[in-house]
């Protein structure tokens, strides 16, 4: 699951647990390929059982023409239809670092944006990074790759890819044509740029000038952090815990001050709420399993609340793009992530939330390592007894399948509700990418890809 803000070095036992969750913090060094072990972990089903399950899945499977965006999208007509009735669609990724996972997600979003009326794309990025991207999407000002290189640093670095740059460029071209404008939503809160404070203070100066001196005092230490995402996050982490706790109290006090003011602006309150969550997260002792678990729980809840807030505030239908481990209804790592964002979204939005997972049979992915670098690694082929092993026997190379009607078949339903090894590949290497997951309890829809390639990093600006 994509935890972008795991910047600190947890205790060894906790590190093993958190490895599944994250674009974990400072990553390490090599670019050598490696193939993690993928033992099935359960007794393989009989050939007859597998054939019956595959036959049942094929009745509800729709082939994908391509994983590359652009071109005809008739193959996605059924996908658009099965999302009707949902205001929030979570589209997961089995890997943060695989090209084809993100290009197929762009295809899905395009189909939902144009005929189906979705207009927001929520991501595990900071609120302030999304604000910068939305300026580009709405006006064309700035260079999108420059923005990405400046904002997608440290634990956010795996998202600094050509695949996402391509998505943002398409969104910009769509917006140039007028009509419903597409926007990005930042769900995460591990960093906040200086503009976020300036927007709050500028609003207060216009509407509640008496609050300005106290807001400046409360935000002074946060505003004094250095420029640059990675530099700022490192400097924040290096502060004494007592200072970080004081900053958290001040950020919470600033939010309460704005929330109790005579005039209120929901967007300003949201920006202040994000700052309060960010400051609180920096007070977590990640070597303490109980604190780490509570912080991870709060993060998923907060991301869900932000998505629901945006949808209700704007009335826009929204795609939530995050790791499979976040968009799913059930957790694969209860000791670290007791409740998922997907479970919270179902609680908050009811049946207006739809969970779409991605699975892959094998291929390559980029990941960070424990000591600060990045590498490209391989996974698969999926082992007998795993979910992907059976999915890959469906006659289509790449496809999507609605698990809800498929699950009403007794044979398929039994298979879908049984937990089996499943690739849940985090942003951190090494890892064990095959925890047990029951697909039918985790997702409404699954997009299965036979083979994926590693994502392509955006070249740093000269």
* Mean pLDDT of the 81-95 span: 96
Read off the pLDDT of residues 218-246 as tens digits, 9 standing for 90 and up.
999 999 999 999 999 999 999 999 999 99
User: What six digits make up the tokens of 443?
Assistant: 């997702």
Q: Which residue has the higher pLDDT, 208 or 374?
A: 208
Pure H helices in 7-153: 12-18, 47-58, 77-82, 99-113, 127-139, 144-151
User: What six digits make up the tokens of 175?
Assistant: 């917006």
CB atoms within 10 A of CB 74: 9
CA gap 421, 431 in Å, rounded: 14
**Burial tier of 315 (Cβ tally within 10 Å: 0-12, 13-18, 19+):** exposed
pLDDT tops 50 at residue 55: yes
The pLDDT, as a whole number, for residue 371 is 79
pLDDT tops 70 at residue 3: no
| 28-37, 318-327, 342-351, 436-445: the lowest-pLDDT one | 28-37
The pLDDT, as a whole number, for residue 263 is 96
The pLDDT, as a whole number, for residue 5 is 40
Q: Cα 274 vs. chain centroid, distance in angstroms?
A: 17
* Structural element, H or E, at residue 444: none
Are the C-beta atoms of residues 426 and 367 closer than 8 Å to each other?
Answer: yes
The pLDDT, as a whole number, for residue 336 is 86
The pLDDT, as a whole number, for residue 461 is 76
pLDDT tops 80 at residue 306: yes
pLDDT tops 80 at residue 76: yes
pLDDT tops 80 at residue 12: no
CA gap 284, 294 in Å, rounded: 9
The pLDDT, as a whole number, for residue 226 is 97
pLDDT tops 50 at residue 31: no
- Name the pairing type of β-strands 353-369 and 445-452: parallel
User: What six digits make up the tokens of 365?
Assistant: 């992915």
233: three-class secondary structure by DSSP: helix
Cα–Cα distance list, 277 to 258, 297, 389 (Å): 15, 13, 41
The pLDDT, as a whole number, for residue 303 is 98
* Mean pLDDT of the 31-59 span: 62
The pLDDT, as a whole number, for residue 304 is 98
Instruction: Tell me the pLDDT band of 153, cut-offs 50, 70 and 90.
Output: very high
User: What six digits make up the tokens of 190?
Assistant: 């591990």
Name the residue among 436, 412, 439 with its Cα closest to residue 39: 436
* Mean pLDDT of the 168-177 span: 97
* Mean pLDDT of the 272-278 span: 98
Are the C-beta atoms of residues 388 and 436 closer than 8 Å to each other?
Answer: no
303: three-class secondary structure by DSSP: helix
Pure H helices in 282-340: 289-314, 324-327
Residue 452 bridge partners (DSSP): 363
Torsion angle defined by CA atoms of residues 363, 366, 369 and 371, in that order, rounded to the nearest 10 degrees: 150
* Mean pLDDT of the 292-301 span: 96
The pLDDT, as a whole number, for residue 46 is 65
What does pLDDT average to over the chain?
A: 90
Cα–Cα distance list, 424 to 232, 238, 287, 368, 428 (Å): 30, 32, 24, 15, 11
pLDDT tops 90 at residue 428: no
pLDDT tops 60 at residue 328: yes
| Residue reference for tokens 């994926």 | 452
Contacts with 326 (C-beta within 8 Å, 6 or more apart), sequence order: 1, 2, 90, 92, 124, 300, 303, 340, 341, 342
pLDDT tops 50 at residue 179: yes
| pLDDT over 70, % of the chain | 90
Instruction: Tell me the pLDDT band of 45, cut-offs 50, 70 and 90.
Output: low
Helix 162-176 × helix 144-151 angle, to 10°: 130
């Amino acid at each position: 699951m994509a935890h972008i803000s795991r910047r600190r070095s947890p205790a060894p036992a906790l590190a093993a647990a958190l490895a599944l969750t994250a674009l974990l913090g400072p990553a390490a060094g090599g670019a050598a390929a490696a193939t993690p072990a993928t033992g099935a972990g359960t007794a393989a089903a009989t050939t007859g059982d597998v054939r019956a399950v595959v036959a049942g899945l094929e009745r509800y499977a729709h082939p994908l023409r391509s994983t590359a965006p652009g071109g005809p999208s008739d193959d996605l007509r059924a996908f658009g239809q099965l999302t009707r009735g949902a205001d929030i669609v979570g589209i997961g990724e089995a890997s943060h670092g695989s090209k084809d996972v993100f290009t197929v997600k762009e295809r899905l979003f395009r189909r939902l944006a144009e005929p189906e009326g979705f207009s927001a794309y929520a991501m595990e990025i900071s609120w302030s990074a999304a604000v910068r991207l939305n300026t580009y999407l709405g006006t064309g000002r700035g260079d999108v790759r420059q923005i990405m290189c400046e904002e997608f640093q440290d634990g956010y670095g795996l998202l600094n890819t050509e695949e996402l740059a391509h998505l943002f460029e398409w969104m910009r071209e769509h917006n140039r044509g007028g009509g419903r404008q597409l926007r990005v939503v930042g769900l995460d809160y591990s960093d906040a740029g200086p503009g976020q404070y300036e927007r709050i203070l500028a609003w207060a100066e216009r509407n509640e000038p008496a609050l300005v001196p106290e807001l400046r005092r409360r935000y002074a230490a946060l505003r004094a952090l250095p420029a640059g995402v990675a530099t700022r996050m490192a400097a924040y982490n290096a502060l004494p815990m007592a200072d970080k706790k004081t900053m958290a109290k001040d950020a919470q006090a600033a939010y309460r001050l704005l929330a109790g003011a005579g005039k209120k602006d929901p967007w300003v309150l949201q920006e202040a709420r994000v700052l309060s969550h960010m400051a609180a997260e920096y007070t977590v002792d990640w070597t303490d399993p109980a604190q780490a678990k509570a912080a991870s729980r709060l993060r998923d809840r907060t991301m869900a609340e932000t998505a629901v807030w945006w949808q209700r505030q704007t009335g826009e239908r929204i795609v939530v793009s995050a790791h499979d481990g976040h968009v799913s209804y059930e957790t694969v790592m209860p000791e670290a992530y007791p409740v998922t964002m997907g479970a919270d979204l179902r609680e908050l939005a009811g049946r207006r939330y739809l969970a779409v997972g991605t699975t892959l049979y094998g291929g390559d992915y980029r990941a960070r390592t424990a000591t600060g670098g990045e590498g490209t690694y391989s996974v698969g082929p999926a082992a007998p007894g795993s979910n992907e092993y059976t999915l890959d026997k469906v006659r289509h190379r790449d496809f999507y399948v609605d698990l809800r009607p498929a699950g009403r078949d007794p044979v398929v339903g039994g298979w879908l509700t049984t937990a089996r090894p499943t690739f849940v590949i985090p942003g951190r290497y090494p890892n064990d990418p095959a925890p047990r997951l029951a697909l039918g309890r985790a997702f409404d829809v699954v997009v299965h890809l036979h083979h994926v390639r590693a994502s392509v990093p955006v070249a740093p600006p000269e």
